[in-house]
Amino acid sequence: MADREIQAVVFDLDGVLVDSEQQWDEVRRGVAAEAGRPWPAGATRALQGMSTPEWSDYLTAVIGVPGRPQDVAAEVIDRMASRYRLRLPLLPGATEVVRRLASHWPLGLASSSPRQLIDAVLESANLASKFRVSVSTEEVQAGKPSPAVYEEVVRQLTVDAQQAVAIEDSSNGLRSAARAGLRVIAVPNKAFPPDKDALSLASVVVHSLDDITARLVTSLAERG
């Protein structure tokens, strides 16, 4: 099948382009620990993919961090931004895969990070111009695993979701992209591997960003 049958590629950010999942976990755990609140089993996985309003509400309502959700969110985001200023944790091959695929298709970004951090990462990595569209889950009605963020990205790209490819790493991200109707390439996060049922939603599983070539993306049109 011809290249044109894939109309766009949509990247996740955290865990795909930046090695930030563990940093988010450390920062949120730190905020909870400073408030004297224990970290519940399952909290880390539950928080992955949530929008800013969702995870800040979880920290206050479920974990018990004192304060208004918006103030807790601001503190966590400021701490993440400080870490990024010290060192932007781009994953190996991140810049190359974006540039490689941008030469063939329009790119979108569907991220659970707040707009402040999305823009900081793309500007610092000199990748902002490569993305035609970027959407944060805080800009739609629900975070991942809801399909809302992917649905909004493909809407803005004016492409058919079934002719777009998503690149994801986490359980909730894989579920989000699949529910929106995109074909999915999974790059499993080694620190937080996705659940087997979520991984089964992927059209193909790769071990690194270097494995994601234009030929691989094109081949997904033939996989249905």
Placement of tokens 């193909």 in the chain: 204
Q: Measure the CA–CA gap between 16 and 71, rounded to whole angstroms.
A: 28
Tokens read off for 25: 């976990």
Contact 188, 194 (CB under 8 A): yes
Beta bridge partners of 183: 165
Find the catalytic residue in 3, 14, 119, 210: 14
Nearest to 23 by CA among 110, 109, 81, 93: 81
Sign of CA dihedral 82, 21, 140, 212: positive
Tokens read off for 217: 């993306």
In the residue annotation, 78 being an active-site residue is answered as no
Provide the 8-state DSSP code for 14.
Answer: B
Find the catalytic residue in 3, 12, 78, 197: 12
Q: Measure the CA–CA gap between 64 and 131, rounded to whole angstroms.
A: 38
In the residue annotation, 12 being an active-site residue is answered as yes
Catalogue the active-site residues: 12, 14
